[in-house]
Structure 1
Amino acid sequence: MPSQAGHTGFRYDVRTRSSEPAMSTHPPQPPRVSVALCVYNGEKHLREQLDTVLAQRGVDLEVIAVDDGSRDGSVALLREAAARDPRLQVHVNPENLGPLRSFERAMSLGGGEFVAPCDQDDRWHPDKLAQLLACIGDADLAYCDSEYIDDGGRPSGRGISSDLTMMSGREPMRFVFSNSVSGHALIVRRALFEAARPFPPGLFHDWWLAMCASARGGVAYLDEALVQFRRHDAAFSPLGKDAAQAPPSRNRVWLEERRALLRALAGSAFDRDGRAAAMLHALEQAEAGRGYGPLLRSVWQSRAAAPPWRGSTAINALRLQSRFIRKLRRARKEPPIAGPRFRL
């Protein structure tokens, strides 16, 4: 199938369209998508990102921009753009809320059936939202791959799928063990977003939404890079940093992440079979030195949720058991987690 370059440097397949006459002269109205754009001192790349968001095709678009106390020209830029395009609304937090609460607020302010979180420094393919809507089917969340670009916008030739195993389906424990869903690359049904509120403190909003969606309608993956994801030292997430170094307490951090994810899932309506609560208890027992047996059994009982590495389900479950034991042993030799409580 031939490919061509989009105006932002994307390469994408040309989709052929049917030549059959339409059954109606009034095509169905596309669903409304509320883009939730969070901004904090993002003036440098914000205009370029806004241009690609407002250029989305095939959707009924509204853009909810929430500024979280920027000290640069971000608010003025947003208001100038809103004066030109009524699809853009601008809100300014009365105080700095941080990324998690800002995204939750931005996602709550729209009226669309679907919600799409948006970072301040990326570029979107003009058909990103339309293709994700076509992909989502009966699922609650759909996401795509992303291509890495540097601070100057130059592609690296790699993408998120080069570094992560991209996952889908209806198994929430899979997203406890690992995560491949990035907020800048997803759309989610508003009904799922409302069911997932309030976002648990300390968790990334995209990771939490992926777990909740996989416990209900499921997660769908579109194997196309529809976002150019900018990596630079000022990025918030570790995935967005050019050269993120592993912390000296990385095994402690990994275990604390799992505890936080399990605790949030166990305390929600999405842990319908109690597996998250049981694994949380088993993990805490193992960390307290009371043996690995309950944890290994708990992982085995959730073997269908083991990350889809190479090999059979059983082999992947054994690898996951080994990972837990290795992390527990190494964590005992590491210093306490330094600084404020980690963010997933």
Structure 2
Amino acid sequence: MAKQCIMFQENIEKRYKVSVAMAVYNGEHYLAEQLDSILCQLRYDDELVVSVDSSKDGTMDILERYASLDHRIKVYKNPYSPGVVHNFQNALEHTIGDIIFYSDQDDVWMNNKIEKVLECFDDKLVTVVIHDTSLVDENLNIISPSTFKLRGGVRTSVLGNYIRLSYIGCAMAFRAKYKSVVLPIPTIYRSHDWWTGLICTMGGGKMVAIKECLIYHRIHSLNVTPKTRPSVYYQIQTRWILLFNMLKRYRKRISIK
């Protein structure tokens, strides 16, 4: 697998500098496997930016070992209050690439993911790309072959995603020129991906959904993704505040061509 990945990496046409923004917390069980699946697709001048919350396991040891052997890995401690949103925000702040990929700590990327996603950005109107995922258990056994089908399809419009989001953070990439509008991420939201996707697509941005599974998305007892469905009150309140914050940044968003 490693040899195949190296050959793939060398064959990627140099169109964009890629930044992968990863948030990590107590990730020692699956982190090395995920790092390997990403690094074998990155070119020499791409980067993997990792933000670490105050982990209490061997996460930092793994990251320090990898970073000592690979200049593309850049590790930063999260200076903000703990949590997924701030952890991703810290990683995002340190990226310098043209296209930014979000990444979880415990998935496995298929070895054509970056190539497939970058092809979509050759359309200059495309601002954000998502793709399908295969849900797997701890041992990579398939639970569901398609997240898109499990969710009843995918929406690409701003309004559709405002009402019911289709964005999957671990399966998302976007143009870095919108980073200044995305940041800072409002902390009321449970996720960074909903906010990022809406900011990138409002004002005429185009979203592409690749109907191909490009990662194995692990579901296990240590996931930090919220497991409970928020109350109706919370959902209504969140959408009002979301709309308010979107309108505040609308002028800045449409100024970016």
TM bucket (normalised to shorter chain) is 0.7 to 0.9
211, 227, 243: which one pairs with 2:215? 227
Ranges in structure 1 where 5+ consecutive residues have no aligned partner: 1-6, 9-26, 239-243, 274-344
Alpha-carbon distance change, 96 to 80 in structure 1, aligned in 2, over 3 angstroms: farther
* Equivalent position of 1:213 in the other structure: 200
In the other structure, the counterpart of 2:7 is none
Partner of 2:235: 254
Q: Deviations over 1:227-252 (max 9, x none)?
A: 111112332224xxxxx4546xx322
In structure 2, do the counterparts of structure 1 residues 196 and 95 end up closer, same or farther at CA, with 3 Å as the change threshold?
A: closer
Q: Report how far residue 187 of structure 1 moved.
A: 0.9
Going from structure 1 to structure 2, the CA distance change for 1:256 and 1:152 (only over 3 Å counts) comes to farther
Name the counterpart of 2:171: 185
1:199 matched to 2:185? The reply is yes
Identity %: 27
Alpha-carbon distance in structure 1 between the residues aligned to 2:66 and 2:45: 18
Q: Are the equivalent residues in 2 in contact too, given 1:58–1:127 (CA < 8 A)? A: no
Taking CA–CA contacts closer than 8 Å with sequence separation of 6 or more, which of the two structures ends up with the larger relative contact order?
Answer: 2
Q: Deviations over 1:106-130 (max 9, x none)?
A: 1121211111111100000111111
**Equivalent AA in structure 2 for residue 78 of structure 1:** L
Q: How many residues align?
A: 240
Structure 1 residue 176: deviation in Å?
Answer: 1.1
Kindly state the Cα deviation for residue 57 of structure 1 after the two structures are TM-superposed: 5.8
- Give the TM-score, by structure 2 length: 0.85
Unmatched 5+ stretches in structure 2: 3-11
Per-residue CA deviation, residues 287-307 of structure 1 (Å, 9 max, x unaligned), is xxxxxxxxxxxxxxxxxxxxx
Aligned 8 A contact 1:32 1:114 in 2: yes
The one-letter amino acid of 1:109's match is H
Aligned partner of 2:31 in structure 1 is 46
1:236 alignment partner in structure 2: 224
RMSD between aligned alpha carbons? 2.5
Alpha-carbon distance change, 81 to 237 in structure 1, aligned in 2, over 3 angstroms = same
Quickly say closer, same or farther: Cα 1:36–1:255, change in 2 above 3 A: same
CA contact (8 A) 2:110 2:215 kept: yes
Residues 138-172 of structure 1, C-alpha deviations (whole Å, 9 max, x = no match):
2111110010001222111432112222122xx42
1:145 aligns with 2:132: yes
Give yes or no for contact 1:57–1:126 (8 Å, CA) kept in 2: no
Larger radius of gyration: 1
Question: Is this contact kept in 2: 1:265–1:271, CA < 8 A?
Answer: no
Confirm or deny: 8 A CA contact 2:53 2:82 kept in the other structure. Answer: yes
Contact persistence 1:59–1:130 (CA under 8 A): no
Name the counterpart of 2:247.
266
Letter in 2 for 1:235: N
Letter in 1 for 2:206: G
